[in-house]
Structure 1
Amino acid sequence: MSMSKLAAAGDGWADLPRDLLESVLARLPVPDRLRFPAVCTAWQSAAATGASGSNAPLSPWLMLPFNPTARGRPRRPTPSGTAVSEHVCVGSSPDGWLITADASSELHLLNPVTGAQVQLPSVATLPFVDATRGADGCVESYSLRRCFADDDCDDEVLIPPETLAPDRLRYEVYEKAIVTWGGYALVLICQPLSRVAVARAGDAGWTQLDTPARCWVDAVRAAGADGVVYAMDTAGRVEAWDMDATPAPAPSRAAIAPPCRCSARACAMFAVCRRYPMELAP
């Protein structure tokens, strides 16, 4: 029964027990939760002080570029006071937060509904990035130290660093970022060689993880296990990292899935193995 039909049904619905109303509210998808207070004053009160979380599946948001000159197209305006039009999204969390890179390639946690932002450690704290700043303290350019893997000698070969404009570094470094558990903590897959770095709430910089495989291509949270991340490399190998058991830069590791049948070298040279880790609801 829709919320409008409930409102037209008359007395009775307003007399439901408060704990039952809050239980129902916690299970509603977002569109119905927004309509919930319109039923009556009792439901409005329950919505104002009820459970802040929701156990129901959330309706997906399709985020598309918007052309301000287009007419007759619905859109949701950006929350006032939040300038995010130049941000690039590099990750997200099930709690509704986005990880975005601004025009200076600095990372932020962004809530697209409330407009709240959390500044993350500077990209210049990654060991292969240097920032050149002007007299005003703003970044004028970045220097990115690159390398490639040499399987013949099991080593890395350095190449001359590349100078990049502040807004270009984000396209060269960030592969994927995930929020791993409450607090917050983030895992960042970044170039060169798809390394992994982590930052926790209160950290002044990113810490590069000491992992044997150099080319990690994807990572997801382990549902129902705080601090555990499933990471996959180019050969299709999957490992579970317990970020809480051992402090960075050497997380506790456990093998979850073996490499694919083709050789790891072939995967690394030609294409990422066609395996896709997924985060499932607990």
Structure 2
Amino acid sequence: MEIVAGGFSDAPQEILTDIFALLEFPDLVRVGSVCSSWNSAYTSICSFGQYKCSQAPCLIYTSESAGDHVAFLYSLVEKRSYKLTLPDLHIQRRYLIGSSHGWLVTADDRSEMHLVNPVTSEQISLPSVITIEQVTPILDEAGAICRYRFSRHTAEAIMGPSSTYSLSASRDHLFHKALLFYDTSAGSYFVM
């Protein structure tokens, strides 16, 4: 009986995904650059919460000298940094509110929240800040939002006078922490 083995690039996608999901993050990024089928498995793992390996944490940081579209990922395991170019994203201007499962929860300079995957450059906008009951947009003469007013009330009581902040300063007063969870039964994430 003769067995003919194909190349590793011909391996079934499910097997590649199962194997790659066990790699440390820097190694996962490396296998994603081998060939198109491996990149497809890598992208699937990063995008759909299939990453199973308990990871040593990585630190993400930006630098003004590197520019608005560049972030650095520092691997504690390898003790080295990786430069990530995020062409459609001004990551250096974002506030980091939380992170989990390879995603960052950020607030932009208009205080709008986004999920950002720094490895795949994928970005998902979260519901607008004006969907929060205590936030009222203030419009300029042209009808564009220029500030937000925060009322300090709950369903039971008024907690004090309202405050008005610029678009970018609002994120300092509104967002303190965000948690990201993956719901395996629904196959999607939710943010608190």
Q: Which interval holds the TM-score relative to the shorter structure? A: 0.5 to 0.7
Counterpart amino acid of 2:191?
L
SS in 2 for 1:176: coil
Q: Find the counterpart in structure 2 of residue 92 from structure 1.
A: 99
Q: 1:75 and 1:67 mapped to 2: Cα distance?
A: 16
Superimposed CA distance per residue, residues 142-173 of structure 1 (whole angstroms, 9 cap, x where no aligned partner): 1111259xxxxxx6443111111111111111
Match of residue 121 from structure 1: 127
Give the distance between the partners of 2:163 and 2:58, measured in 1 at CA. 37
Cα distance between partner residues in 2 of 1:92 and 1:100: 9
Cα distance per residue 1:98-155 (max 9 Å; x no partner) = 111111111111111222211211111211111112254432111111259xxxxxx6
Q: Contact 2:147–2:164 at 8 Å: present in 1 too?
A: yes
Percent of counterpart pairs with the same letter?
A: 28
Asked whether the equivalents of residues 147 and 156 of structure 1 are also in contact (C-alpha less than 8 Å), the reply is yes
Report 1 or 2 for greater relative contact order, CA contacts < 8 Å, sequence distance ≥ 6.
2
- 1:27 corresponds, among 15, 22, 27, to 22
Task: Name the structure 1 match of 2:168.
Answer: 167
Structure label with greater radius of gyration: 1
Question: Where does structure 2 lack aligned partners over 5 or more consecutive residues?
Answer: 46-50, 67-79
Residue 70 of structure 2 is aligned to residue 63 of structure 1: no
Q: What's the TM-score, normalizing by structure 1? A: 0.47
TM-score of the two chains, using structure 2 as the length reference: 0.66
Residues 29 and 106 from structure 1, CA distance in 2 versus in 1: closer, same or farther, beyond 3 angstroms?
A: same
Q: CA deviation at 1:45?
A: 6.9
Deviations 1:41-61 (A, max 9, x none): xx8576245474332223422
Count of matched residue positions in the alignment of Structure 1 and Structure 2:
162
Structure 1 gaps of 5+ residues are 1-11, 149-154, 188-282
Partners of 1:136 and 1:184 lie apart in 2 by 37
Structure 2 CA distance, aligned partners of 1:84 and 1:117? 11
2:28 partner letter: R
Which structure shows the higher helix fraction?
2
